[in-house]
Structure 1
Amino acid sequence: MYSSQLLKGTYQTVILKLLNENKRMYGYEISQRVKEESNGEIQLPEGSLYPILHKMTEEGFLKMEKVHIGRRVRRYYSITTTGSSEAVVRMEELNRFMTTMKLLMQPNTGTV
């Protein structure tokens, strides 16, 4: 598993990517998908997930729909048009960042 500090800046991008690929998802489903797709390397704890989902909803990237299932209320999140555009921008930015980090992490050969 990776440190929470390393992951903090990527959670929103990961959530946008998942919701861009899926019609709608509820919180637990999102956290489980992250865990599955990262082979257990990344876990998105509830204490981090729900504040992020609420913030992204306030920012207009997501919309939330309450669905009553028996006595329970499940909150489903889906991506908005604005969120889809933001997902593309953030995924491109994250890919550029990872490429830059790979360059920085290469061994220094001592030549200039």
Structure 2
Amino acid sequence: MGNSKLYKGSLTTIIMKLLAEHDKMYGYEITQKVKHLTKGELNITEGALYPALHKLEAEGLLDVEVKKVDNRLRKYYKLTESGMKETVNLLTELQQYIQTMQHLVNPKLSLD
């Protein structure tokens, strides 16, 4: 993607949507899922992902579970109940934003 700045404001929503769909995921798994779903257009770096995950955890929107996998500790992230509610709110806001941008960018396609 030529301008990844457009995605930066949506990182939290992307993370929370994936966790809502997959129950719990670890960091690398999140980055690979996003890369796969966007056919390589969006690559989330560790430098962007982990601060976002830590912020969501501090806000009480994520729980963290540590498991030992192949002799290594792996952190799994899962939405809390308030995280699930916030995901619904964020997705609604994003849909409204996309609709508004569609009206601005291509008004001929607007059904209103």
Judge same fold: TM > 0.5, yes or no: yes
In the alignment, which residue of structure 2 is the partner of 1:6?
Answer: 6
Identity %: 44
Larger Rg: 1
**Count of aligned pairs between the two proteins:** 108
**2:94 and 2:32 mapped to 1: Cα distance?**
22
- Whether the 8 Å contact between 1:2 and 1:42 is mirrored in structure 2 is no
Unaligned runs of 5+ in 2: none
Superposition deviation, residue 63 in structure 1: 0.7
**Which amino acid in the other structure matches residue 16 of structure 2?**
L
In the alignment, which residue of structure 1 is the partner of 2:45?
Answer: 45
- For the residue of structure 1 that corresponds to 2:9, the secondary structure is helix
In the alignment, which residue of structure 1 is the partner of 2:16?
Answer: 16
**1:49 and 1:71 mapped to 2: Cα distance?**
23
**Which amino acid in the other structure matches residue 37 of structure 2?**
E
Unaligned runs of 5+ in 1: none
**2:24 and 2:96 mapped to 1: Cα distance?**
28
Distance 1:99 1:78, change over 3 A: same
The TM-score normalised by the length of structure 1 is 0.90
**2:19 and 2:36 mapped to 1: Cα distance?**
15
